[in-house]
Structure formats: C-alpha cells, structure tokens
Structure 1
Amino acid sequence: MDWTEDARDGAIIAAPNGKIDESSAQDFGTKLEAAVERAAEAAAKLVVDCSGISYMSSRGLRALTLAKRKADGAGVKIMLAAPNGIVREILAISRYDKLFGVTDTVEGALAA
C-alpha cells in the first residue's frame, strides 16, 4: 500500500493506494492515526481519498475505527471520499457508511 498526503482547503487529504488487508492494515492504521494528529494540529478535517483502495478487509475497518476514536477525541472530522463499488459495498455492509461521512468525490468531502 502506498500513501500520499496533501493539505488543501482546510483539510488534510490522505490518499492510500492498493489493497488494505492483513499485510498492509497495520501500516494503514499507523499512517491514518498520524494523519489524524496532523489534522488536529492544523485544526483541519481529514479526508481519506479512497479512490485508490481496491479492497479493504476487516483489519482495515478496524484501523478506521481506531482512527475515528482518536479523531473524535481530538475534534477532527474524518470523511471518506470516492470509494469504488467494492469498497462502498464493504462500508455499507459493515455500516461504516453510517459512522463516517462518505462522498462520491474529494471535492464533495471538502465541501461537507
């Protein structure tokens, strides 16, 4: 899994790329929690650009849960943007689409 970050319009945009499964979930979680810390320091929201995620296992969902707890404690809003059909279905089945704001585009998440 690759990871890039950008700051734009009062948000940190994190863009993981690849599969988030047993082999990459710990790295994903570590990078996600570090992004939450940077967003808290900058008083920004965190937008996770999911367009590059081809699959997410339950370990990836756990990493999202831990990051959300940290974000809630720090007053950071996490938005999930542009998930593909598979990831969107995983989010819906697990009801994570009720825990996180999910938008079709990064721009939509920035505006939310």
Structure 2
Amino acid sequence: MDFSCRSTDGILVAAVHGRVDESTWEAFADQMSGAIDQAAGEKLSELMLDLSNLAYMSSRGLRVLTIAKRRADTAGLTITLAAPNEVMREILAISRYDKLFHISDSVDTGQ
C-alpha cells in the first residue's frame, strides 16, 4: 500500500494505491491520521481520498475510514471518496459506506 498527499484548489487529495488489508491497515490508519492533521493545519475544508488505484479494502480498512470520518467531522473537514473502481464501489455499497461518505466519480477538484 502506498499513500501520497497533495493540496490543490483548497482540497487535500490523498491517493491510496494497492490494497488495504490485514498487513497494511495500520499504515493506512497512520497515513489517514496524518492527512487529517495536514488538512486541518492548512485550514482546508475537504479531504478527498483518491481510490482510483485501490484494488481492495478489508473490514479493517473500513474501520479506519469510520474513525477518520469521526476525526474529520470534529475538525470541520469533509471526507470525499473519489473514483472507486467497481470492486471498491461494491465494497462501499455492501458496507453502506456509500451512505456515510460522499462518493465522487472522479478526482477532479474543480467540481
């Protein structure tokens, strides 16, 4: 699992690549925590999580998203899940995370 962040148009875009599973969820949790801290420190209103290169996310990864949402809400940040592939869309739908998070079809920050 790789994770990178960039600020653009007043949004922090965090891209996750690979898989978030039993061997990578802790690193994902650390990276998400750091991204929330960075976005809050830069006084941004949104953290966009680019899922376009994420192949899979286990239940532990989904738990990280739940905790991240709570922290983001407290910090006044919105988390948007962007560009999930079909596998991730299904995982988000089955877990009902598509009701908890805003899902964007693209990573276009100009929307």
Which AA in structure 2 matches 1:90? I
Q: Output one character per residue of 1:32-83: Cα deviation in whole Å (capped at 9) or x when no partner.
A: 1110111111121100000010000000000000110100110011000000
RMSD across aligned positions (CA): 1.0
Task: Supply the distance in 1 between the matched residues of 2:29 and 2:81 (Cα, whole angstroms).
Answer: 15
Match of 2:28 in 1: 28
- SS of aligned partner of 2:69: helix
Task: Supply the distance in 2 between the matched residues of 1:110 and 1:39 (Cα, whole angstroms).
Answer: 18
Which AA in structure 2 matches 1:10? G
5+ residue gaps, structure 2 = none
Structure holding more helix per residue: 1
Would you say how many aligned residue pairs link Structure 1 and Structure 2? 110
TM-score (norm 2): 0.95
Match of 1:51 in 2: 52
Runs of 4+ in structure 1 deviating by more than 6 angstroms, as ranges, are none
- SS of aligned partner of 2:90: helix
Match of 1:91 in 2: 92
2:94 aligned with 1:78, yes or no?
Answer: no
Task: Supply the distance in 2 between the matched residues of 1:47 and 1:110 (Cα, whole angstroms).
Answer: 12
5+ residue gaps, structure 1 = none
Contact in 2 for aligned 1:47/1:110 (Cα 8 Å): no
- Compute the displacement of 1:106 (Å): 0.7
